[in-house]
Homo-oligomer: A and B are copies of this chain.
Amino acid sequence: MIDTTTALELVLLHGSMSTKVLEVDLKDGLDYVLAKDVISEIDMPPFRQSAMDGYALHIGDDVTYSMVGEVKAGDNNNPTLHKGEAVRIFTGAPVPVTANTVVMQEKVTVDGNKISIEESPKENTNIRLQGEQIKVGGVAINKGTTIKGVHIGFLASLGVTKITVCEKPSIAIVVTGNELVSPGDKLSYGEIYESNGAMLTAVLKELGYKNTSVVTIKDDYDKTKKVLKDTLGKHDVVIVTGGVSVGDYDFVGKAINAIGVQEIFYKVKQKPGKPLFFGKKEGTSIFGLPGNPAAALSCFYIYVYPLLKKYEGAEHMNLPAISLPLLFDYTVKGTQAQFLKARIEGAGVTILGGQSSAMVRAFGDANALVCLPRNSAEIKKGQNVKTILLPTK
C-alpha cells in the first residue's frame, strides 16, 4: 500500500499525453489547453490611446490652450499640435503624435476656441502607451494554459480568431454491479440506482470534458473481460467504478489482470478510496475508483483530474490548493490520510458533516476538500489545513 503523494506522482509519471493538436475557433476554445504559445501579432494598445474624455495637449508655458481639432474613438486623423495647442479627445481615441498629455474634461474650462486648465499638466498623463499590455511578437498566453472566458476576451482583443489546442481525451466510465438499476426503472429489494455514470459524466462536462460515454457491466467474468478489453482499445482514459476490491465476486480486478493491464498501483493509504487502482494498457490509463459515489468523486478530483490535465499538456495539473484556518475543531477518525468534503466560508474552512463514503449529498454543499496527512488525530480551530479548491461557479 502506497501513500497519497506517491500515488499522485505515479499517476502523473505514467499518464499519457495527447499527441494530437487541433485548431479551433477562438470562440469554441473554452476549457481547451493551449498546445503552443499564442504570439501577439499586434501591439496592444495598437496606438497611443486616450484613457479619458478630455483634451490632448502639446504642453505650453501657459494654462490656456488654443483648440485646433477633435479626435473621437475610431478616428484615424492625426492633427498636428504646436506648443500651447489642444484637441478635444475621447476615451479610446488615438492621441495625436504631437500631443504629449491628456487632461480630463472635468479639469478644463472651455471658452469659445480657448480652454484653460486648473493646474499645469504633467507629460504622458491619461495616455495608454502603445504596446503597454503586450508588444507585437510577445507571448500573449503560454502553452499549457487552460482557456477561460477572460482569455478568449484577451485573445480577441489581439485579433486572434483561431487557437491551437491539445485534443481532449476520450473517456469511458465503466459502472459495474448486479445491484445497479437505471434511474426510471423499478427498484427491487437489494437493488440501487446507478448514479456514478451520471455523476462522473456531469462532473466531467462541468470541467469541459464532453467526449465521454458510460458502459454498464453486470458481475459476469467473461462479459467483463470482453467489455473492458473493447473499452480500453477505444478510449484514452477508462474510469471503472466499483468492483475493484477483495470481494469474491470482483470480476473487474480479475478481468483487468487477464487482459494484460499493467498495474501501477493498487490500494492507497487514504480515506476514502483505499482500494484505488491505477493501471495502463498501451496508451490508455485505467482507474478503478470505489463504488461509493462520494469516495469515487474524491478520488476523481485528487487523481483523475490531474491525469486528464496531463493528457492535455496543462501547466497546472492539480486543482489549486491553499492553506486555510479550520473554523471548528475536528477529530480525525483513523490514522489514514484523509480527503474531507469542506466548505470555505467566512474566514476559513469548515469540514462538513456526512463524510461517509456513500454520502454524496455533502458534496453538494462542498466547495473544497480538506487534505489531512496520516495520523492527524485532533485538529484545533485556527490551525491551517491544506484545502483543495473544487471547481465553482
Report A's interface with B, CB cutoff 8 A: 26-27, 30-31, 42, 44-47, 49, 51, 53, 71-78, 88, 90-94, 105, 128, 132-134, 140-141, 145-146, 148-161, 177-180, 183-185, 187-208, 219, 242, 245-249, 291, 293, 297, 320, 322-324, 344-348, 354, 356-361, 363-364, 366-367, 384, 389, 391-393
Contacts and interface: CB of A to CB of B under 8 A. Distances in A.
A91 B245 contact: yes
Nearest to A246: B53
Pairs of residues from A and B, 8 with the lowest C-beta to C-beta distance, nearest first: A153-B199, A74-B178, A149-B203, A74-B179, A149-B202, A156-B195, A157-B195, A156-B198
A221 B88 CA distance: 20
A56 to B, nearest CB: 13
Nearest to A72: B249
A367 B93 contact: no
A179 B297 contact: no
A92 B159 contact: no
A324 B345 contact: no
A95 to B, nearest CB: 10
Contact of A31 (B134, B178, B393): B393
Contacts of A42: 187
A198 B361 contact: no
10 contacts: A73-B190, A74-B191, A76-B189, A91-B291, A92-B179, A93-B190, A149-B203, A152-B199, A159-B184, A389-B389
A105 to B, nearest CB: 7
B297 A322 contact: no
B361 A193 contact: no
B105 A246 contact: yes
Contact of A219 (B72, B196, B197, B208): B72
Contact of A91 (B200, B219, B247): B247
B160 A183 contact: yes
A219 B157 contact: no
Given A156-B199, A202-B153, A322-B345, A179 B31 contact: no
Given A74-B191, A206-B393, 6 more contacts: A27-B201, A30-B206, A31-B393, A133-B361, A153-B293, A157-B193
Contact of A161 (B77, B184, B363, B393): B184
Given A74-B178, A149-B206, A323 B346 contact: yes
A45 B192 contact: yes
A94 B191 CA distance: 8
Nearest to A128: B358
Contact of A347 (B90, B219, B291, B323): B323
Contacts of A191: 46, 74, 76
Contact of A192 (B31, B132, B157, B248): B157
A364 B219 contact: no
Contacts of A245: 53, 91
A159 B193 contact: yes
A138 B363 CA distance: 18
Contacts of A44: 192
A347 B384 contact: yes
